[in-house]
Amino acid sequence: YGYQIKYPMDATISLFGPQGFSMEDKPDDMTADQYIDSLLKEYTKQLCVQIEYSLGWIYIAAPPNKEKLLTPCGPTGLGAGEIIEKIETIAVGDQLYQANGVEFRLHTVDSDGNPIISETLDIHGEMFGIQLEDGTVIRFGSFPRHEATYEDYMMKTRETLLQILATYQLSP
């Protein structure tokens, strides 16, 4: 899809191609299996690239998948809780973008119905997104983990995620 990105050796990369479609889009002369095969051939298995690093993630959705119609690309929701909207300027390649995001604290209860107040990443985290001029959508944020805190993520992972995004460039 015309870009390249650098990432640490201990990052994990996953690639996703079309996983579904609207039945309204399926041609009448094709079975569902034939149509998904044609989508895979057309769009490849690189519609969504997932980079997992330490306590965080980056998802890059190619322009044909910017509305997540063909494959999920990143988290789909947060849950109930306190949502703090944020805007940050970040570098994607050599360009600066306004990333829209949220810091969230989910409301959850223990088995007795008492509120759980915690800083662990399964309750307190963040998620940001950017859409580039060509329609590429990039999202990044923290993994929901109970063994690490939001502060751990901010100190150990977030800066590396931003450094990865700064290496994004269009392929020559």
Tens of pLDDT, residues 32-60: 788 777 777 777 777 889 999 999 999 99
The residue type at 61:
A
Average pLDDT over residues 99-124: 81
Average pLDDT over residues 101-109: 83
Average pLDDT over residues 112-132: 84
Q: What is the b/e burial string over 89-122, where b = at least 16 CB atoms within 10 angstroms of the residue's CB? A: ebebbeeebebebbbbbbeeeeeeeeeeeeebbb
pLDDT band at 71 (very low <50, low <70, confident <90, very high): low
Average pLDDT over residues 55-74: 78
Q: Which pLDDT belongs to residue 106?
A: 78
Task: Select the more confidently predicted residue: 142 or 114.
Answer: 142
The answer to whether 38 touches 104, Cβ cutoff 8 Å, is no
Backbone angles phi, psi at 9, to 5 degrees: -60, -30
pLDDT band at 85 (very low <50, low <70, confident <90, very high): very high
Task: Select the more confidently predicted residue: 162 or 78.
Answer: 162
